[in-house]
Amino acid sequence: MIAKGKSISHGTAALEYDLAKEINGEAAATEIHRHELFGCTGEDMVQEMKPYFVDFPNVKNNCLRFEVSPSVEESAGMTDADWAKLGNDFMQRMGLMNHQYIIVKHSGTEKNRRQAHLHILANRVSLSGELYQDNWIGKRATEAANSIARERNLVQSKDIGKANREEIKQAMDDVLIRMQGFDLAGFSRELGKLGFKVREARASTGKLNGYYVKARSGTEYKASEIGKGYTLAHIEKTQKKLKYNSISRNYGNTLKPKDGGLHL
């Protein structure tokens, strides 16, 4: 499970987006739970928060926004009640149960329609008038998510990233071994057949600087995050090494690399 958090100044815009979310023209947002908020619209609810801001006129980022995302497999059987429990559990671990907040579930994303997740908007000022300190809020959100994951035997965020990168690496290795030589277009096409989308990274001049690969889960990684050997500068060398190792295994280690090629 992954969680993100930050303090923001645009609470109304963020909440209106959360409540009105559509994917391919279809409604994707469901309100799951709210605490001490009664308005019908995002603007109404943020207006309800404003009286608490009065004692902190110099605080620009007066709302807190979180995203909580279990893996697709973990969330597949979750009911709205399960999502509400997850959201409230997260808010409790963040020390925000005494704040106004609303939890909205999105059934998916544009990149992955199965990746359901929660958006939470909260008043940074508590009902008793205390300002919530936002130092390292992103890190604390990750720690809260990992704590929930450990208790529920879910996959922790660091493990999801590791699994995604390993899955991409395995697919890349398989494609590189099969390809006669390396060209990014062919490499991208073959990875696409396996469910991994490649996106080129180009400078404003059009120069190709690198590329990204999107995991089946929808998370995108730079080639360098998969490994230095998969960057454009090193991938052909990696391909030769993979091919050598593959053929060597098949022929009882009788092959030796010579002058960058393979020889009996």
pLDDT in tens, 52-78: 999 999 999 999 999 999 888 788 889
For residue 24, is it left (φ>0), alpha (ψ between -120 and 50) or beta?
Answer: left
Tell me the chain's radius of gyration from C-alpha atoms: 24
Task: Give the Cα separation of 149 and 93 in Å (integer).
Answer: 12
Q: Report residue 261's pLDDT band, with 50, 70 and 90 as the boundaries.
A: low
Dihedral, CA of residue 172, residue 177, residue 178 and residue 180, to nearest 10: 110
Q: Report residue 136's pLDDT band, with 50, 70 and 90 as the boundaries.
A: very high
Task: Give the Cα separation of 12 and 63 in Å (integer).
Answer: 9
Nearest-CA neighbor of 9 among 123, 135, 132? Answer: 123
Sequence-distant (6+) residues with CB within 8 A of 172 are 191, 196, 213, 226, 230
Predicted confidence at residue 264, as pLDDT, reads: 43
Please answer whether residues 217 and 160 qualify as being in contact, where contact means their C-beta atoms are separated by less than 8 angstroms.
yes
Please answer whether residues 121 and 61 qualify as being in contact, where contact means their C-beta atoms are separated by less than 8 angstroms.
no
- For 152-194, how does the pLDDT look when each residue is reduced to its tens digit (9 = 90+)? 877 655 666 788 889 999 999 999 999 999 999 999 999 999 9
Predicted confidence at residue 113, as pLDDT, reads: 84
Please answer whether residues 206 and 198 qualify as being in contact, where contact means their C-beta atoms are separated by less than 8 angstroms.
no
Query: In Å, how far from its chain's centre is CA 253?
Result: 42
State pTM to two decimals.
0.65
**Does pLDDT of 246 surpass 90?**
no
What amino acid occupies position 240? K
243-264 in b/e form (b: 16+ CB < 10 A) is beeeeeeeeeeebeeeeeeeee
Q: Where are the beta strands (DSSP E) in 136-192?
A: none
**Does pLDDT of 219 surpass 80?**
no
Share of the chain above pLDDT 90, in %: 74
Nearest-CA neighbor of 217 among 100, 119, 139, 117? Answer: 117
Q: What element of type H or E holds 50?
A: helix 42-53
Task: Give the Cα separation of 81 and 139 in Å (integer).
Answer: 27
Task: Give the Cα separation of 23 and 29 in Å (integer).
Answer: 9
Q: What element of type H or E holds 248?
A: helix 235-250
Please answer whether residues 103 and 87 qualify as being in contact, where contact means their C-beta atoms are separated by less than 8 angstroms.
yes
Q: Which domains does the chain have, with CATH numbers?
A: 1-133 (3.30.930.30), 159-249 (no CATH)
Q: What is the mean pLDDT of residues 120-133?
A: 98
